[in-house]
Amino acid sequence: MMLRNLTVALLLSGVAGVASAAGPANALSSCFTFAKLPVPTTAPAIEVFVMVDQTTPFNADLKQSIADHIKPLLVSGNALSIYAFSAYTQGHYTNELVHAELDPALEPATRNDIGKTALARYDQCEAYQVRTVQTLAGNALRQAFHGDGNEISKSDVLASIQDVSRQVKASSAQRKIVLIASDMLENSSISSFYAKRVVRKINPDQETKRVADNNLTGDFGGAEIYVLGAGLIVEDTAAKGVYRDPQTMRALQQFWQRYFDGSHGKLVEFGAPALLSAIH
Q: Is 105 within a domain? A: yes
At residue 269, the 3 state secondary structure works out as: strand
- Asked whether residue 232 is assigned to any structural domain, the reply reads yes
Helix (H) or strand (E) holding 225: strand 223-228
What's the pTM value of the predicted model, to 2 decimals? 0.88
pLDDT tens track for 187-229: 888 999 987 667 889 999 999 999 999 999 999 999 999 999 9
Q: Roughly how many angstroms between the first and final C-alpha of the chain, as a whole number?
A: 37
CA 190 to chain centre: 24
Q: Is the pLDDT of residue 238 over 60?
A: no
- As a whole number, mean pLDDT of residues 144-154 equals 65
DSSP-derived secondary structure letter, 274:
S
Mean pLDDT over residues 111-128, rounded? 95
278 belongs to a structural domain:
no
Give CA–CA dist 253/204, Å, rounded: 9
Domain of 224?
A: 2-271
Q: What is the mean pLDDT of the chain?
A: 87
Whole-number CA gyration radius for the chain: 21
Say if 117 falls within a structural domain. yes
Q: What whole-number distance in Å separates Cα of residue 206 and Cα of residue 204?
A: 6
Is residue 279 in some structural domain?
Answer: no
Q: What is the CATH number of the domain that holds 147?
A: 3.40.50
Question: Is 87 within the bounds of a domain?
Answer: yes
For the cut 80, the answer to whether the pLDDT of residue 48 exceeds it is yes
Q: Nearest Cα to 173, choosing from 48, 59, 272?
A: 48
The pLDDT assigned to 8 comes to: 35
Count up the domains in the chain and report the number.
Answer: 1
Please write the tens of the pLDDT for every residue from 158-169: 999 999 999 999
**Beta strand pairing call for 95-101 and 79-85:** antiparallel
What is the arithmetic mean of pLDDT over 259-279? 97
SS3 27: coil
pLDDT at 244 over 60: yes
Does any domain span residue 276? no
Q: What is the pLDDT of residue 146?
A: 81
What Å distances lie between residue 130 and 68, 110, 260, CA to CA? 15, 21, 31
Output the pLDDT for position 3: 39
Q: Residue 153 — pLDDT band, cuts 50, 70, 90?
A: low
| Residue 76 maps to a domain | yes
